[in-house]
Structure 1
Amino acid sequence: MDTSALPTKDRLIRAAAQLFRSRGYHGVGLNDLLAEATAPKGSLYHHFPNGKADLALAAATWASDEMLRVIAASFAGAKTFEDGATTLCFKLAKLFDLTGQQDGCPVGSTLFEGPGNAEFLRHAERCYEGWIEEVQDHANRFGLQEADARRRAEHVFLLIQGGWQLARARKSSEVLRGLPELFAHMPQAASGTGRN
């Protein structure tokens, strides 16, 4: 996607999200960020006073918001929770192929591979919790009770995170396309609310 028309701050955020996802936080220097964003020197600290650390938080937020949009789009036309989760897996498989099959989780690669400070870890938790809550909201919409919806949402999150890592190791998006077969083993509430 051509980002040249975007404001400098937005170009820096998107460049950082892409570079951190593919190289990890420590694999990216300030000159790399400025070159990828075609941003003038000095612009980084103008927009992000704490430099690379501030930019990493902004990049993780942007990437997390993109994931929230993918989740929402996956469930938008679904007839059941499982249909929405299946669509999500297929969308992520396509994204995996588009990114060259080696990129890590955009939040994890940025924040867990960063300086390891408490703010980075809190931010990662907020991003991941947002993804889980988005899936949980859709589970609730399909009539699952709160506790069951939460378990299903966490199960989807864990499958996708683990699936992405295994897909990277195998260099195959088929791992992600195969995740829906595991939905039959999703935890369900003892009350027998069952699958919708």
Structure 2
Amino acid sequence: MDTKSRIIEVATNLFQKKGYIGVGLNEILKECNISKGSLYHHFPNGKEELLITCLQSLNEAITEDIEGIYHRYATTKEATNVMVEQLIEKFEREGTLTGYTFSSIVSEMAALSDPVREACAGLYKKMQDIYYHKLVADGLSNDKAYAYALMMTASIEGAMMLCLTQNSAEPLKVLLKMLPNLIEK
């Protein structure tokens, strides 16, 4: 793995675990075993540029994963069940959802940085679009599909945050039972 990729991987993991403010550049440098000059070579504008790059990387990984699931299953209900079951399994196995949620970064940085807010908004939009297109394919009207996609995005992200704060997979388990029943034509 090249230095830039390593920096992105390490920083993404740290930002997800500790938030943007909770992670200092020195911690990233130490974890990557690199100099400050090396970090600034790859990210001349510093920590915020690194965060935006991490969010873009997360965006690609998360949307690729969601798209894969939604393409493999015939209906939104089936795909959503599989996706939420995978989140539950990951949380129960690892005690975290690193790699799947970035809500803590949004709550911390959205009001402070338009570029960060826009990067986060872009990821939520991509997730919502995946759900929307699958719902339309299921036969829902554009308006209903949009509303359900927004509800799904908010519900799944909220359940993940509740799992992390409660240290329990229960919110995702409840969502697994309830969300498919809320989607109707």
Question: Which deviates more, 18-27 or 156-165?
Answer: 156-165
Q: Which residue of 1 aligns with 2:168?
A: 172
2:96 is the counterpart of 1:101: yes
Distance 1:158 1:167 in 2: 14
Distance 1:139 1:120 in 2: 29
Kept in 2: contact 1:152–1:187 (CA 8 A):
yes
2:74 is the counterpart of 1:82: no
Q: Secondary structure at the match of 1:27?
A: coil
Q: Which residue of 1 aligns with 2:22?
A: 27
Q: Secondary structure at the match of 1:54?
A: helix
Structure 1 residue identity aligned to 2:22: G
Kept in 2: contact 1:104–1:165 (CA 8 A):
no
Shift of 1:170: 2.2
Kept in 1: contact 2:159–2:175 (CA 8 A):
yes
Structure 1 residue identity aligned to 2:87: L
Kept in 2: contact 1:17–1:60 (CA 8 A):
yes
Structure 2: which 5+ residue stretches go unaligned?
none
Q: Which residue of 2 aligns with 1:3?
A: none
2:148 is the counterpart of 1:149: no
Render the CA deviation track for 1:12-40: whole Å, top value 9, x for unaligned. 11111100100010111111112222333
Distance 2:94 2:19 in 1: 14
Shift of 1:43: 1.4
Shift of 1:171: 1.1
Kept in 1: contact 2:85–2:176 (CA 8 A):
no
Q: Secondary structure at the match of 2:171?
A: helix
Structure 2 residue identity aligned to 1:85: T
Shift of 1:105: 6.4
TM-score in terms of structure 2 length: 0.87
2:88 is the counterpart of 1:117: no
Distance 2:101 2:163 in 1: 15
Structure 1 residue identity aligned to 2:21: H
Distance 2:87 2:18 in 1: 19
Count of residues paired in the alignment:
184
Bigger helix fraction: 2
1:27/1:74 CA distance change after superposition, 3 Å: same
TM-score in terms of structure 1 length: 0.83
